[in-house]
A and B are shown apart, each in its own frame.
Chain A
């Protein structure tokens, strides 16, 4: 662990605004501020959980990191290289190191290709293997993710959701990546299959020394798999800390409300739930100052004026709140 402490990925002030066009001339009339200035880092070999409500920009951030979407502003350093500055061809090479696993196992596999072709495609693109060697590699990957030799010539529609997700994982592994963005990889799966896939992902992490950015809205899943957790609200990261630190000692009022919503499988335990009032404000027109001040019961006048910085309150526990 000693020499693996260097940050594999650093995200600095990244913003992603989607233009809203209107009128017959298609003029830009506003922006959806999906990601509105995010700072975070991921250490080599760890799993960083990223939680937040639907629509807070988690998935957008994941895609911006892979440049599946172009960032509006900011800097993303991968192993010291700012990938937002890379040219198309250089970025293509970079894609060998970072991969993605998608949420919907039904939409993420091309229905007209066999499993062998799907997993073999990245090898074709990068010329990593061909012919017999490719087939062997594909078979090896199938076994690694818990599928069998007999599956190689089958089509995606012949598999269950969990099996499809395994195929998606095998495709991501085909280029021997270092970082995998997991975009809600188990949200679409049955609860019974969920833990199998999660355990597989943990095994693979150890085996191939992978780094995960694990995006999810499911707090218990994130707690299970992550080393550190960051919490997003309306396009911004409001708190990042080690898993135990965050779950035991949440500082940000939003994190506290979020954590109080985790169901406890014990009817004897009584806990006070913090119910947030109102809805998440629109990302088109986010509140001034701290984005959370409209729903925060500790809000002070300062909160609606000055945007709080993400600051270290000790022990790598970062929080963006004027209370600390």
Chain B
């Protein structure tokens, strides 16, 4: 049976796909699809992304509408019900609606801040790894300084000093979280540039930029993507902690962290829903990114290739 199968495989097939090679990316995607927890993570992330994009279509209320003015006292801190799935807060706002809209803020900050740290980190890390010497010493020193930086305090100071806004939030987070990308990129570049195919590119007259962009960067991309996915989770957590402390996204915008912080005073008196649902939302999103990131790492690691 085995032989029959292989004969069938090698027989000339009319389809053009036979001559198309399977890139390493395609290989990784096929491996990723077989990984259950990674696909679960990816599904969570996709569901939350879709919810954020189509927020107005899946919610019945306006996230800012305070229902106590129209519906009276029964809308104040109403427990979860068919009317209000996640209950309402003290102003009578629908918590389900606010959690869905809150995804917009978390994802926006997550993507923008991660994008920023990837760009800063990969550029600096690649320069350090490729050129070495003095450039490397300087950039490595800078990376270590940023690593040692009191991260949260810096962002707090920045946000407290400047008028709070979304771009400020993700710039502040991006400026301090690129260091891990720089480290990964530097190490990877140093490893990849020793490969003979880089020498071969020099031997056929390739210049620095061709070698960096065509031969080195595509080969360090996989670990960077993994790092970025995992970093997304921690950046979303960081944003939530800032909002919790009141230095993040300003009310009445529905930031998850701030909702937890507002709801916590009612938690012990039995109105748990105000802080628990945004908390679950944070957990689900961060878990999604982490599971997906772990799966990506397994899928992209060539050492696991048969």
Contact = CB atoms under 8 A, between A and B. Distances in A.
A298 to B, nearest CB: 40
Contacts of B19: 149-154
Contact of B204 (A152, A154, A157, A174): A174
A229 interface: no
Contacts of B202: 68
Contacts of A151: 19
A81 B205 CA distance: 18
Interface string B13-40: 0000011111110000000000000000
A306 to B, nearest CB: 38
A100 B203 contact: yes
Nearest to B23: A155
B219 A111 contact: yes
Interface in B152-202: 195-197, 199-202
Nearest to A110: B197
Contact of B196 (A93, A108, A155): A108
Contacts, number: 85
A96 B218 CA distance: 26
Nearest to A157: B24
A158 interface: yes
Nearest to B26: A155
Nearest to A66: B203
B196 A95 contact: no
Interface stretch (A9-17, A121-129, A203-211, A269-277): A121-129
Contacts of A150: 18-19
Interface string A161-194: 0000000100100110000000000000000000
A158 B205 contact: no
B264 interface: no
29 contacts: A68-B203, A92-B205, A95-B205, A96-B205, A99-B204, A100-B200, A100-B203, A102-B199, A102-B200, A104-B196, A108-B196, A110-B218, A111-B302, A112-B23, A112-B218, A112-B219, A113-B218, A121-B201, A121-B214, A125-B206, A125-B210, A126-B205, A150-B18, A152-B19, A153-B21, A154-B20, A155-B23, A157-B24, A174-B204
Given A103-B196, A151-B19, 12 more contacts: A102-B199, A107-B195, A107-B196, A108-B195, A108-B197, A110-B215, A122-B205, A125-B205, A125-B206, A154-B20, A158-B21, A168-B200
Interface of A: 63, 66, 68, 92-93, 95-96, 99-100, 102-104, 107-115, 121-122, 125-126, 149-155, 157-158, 168, 171, 174-175
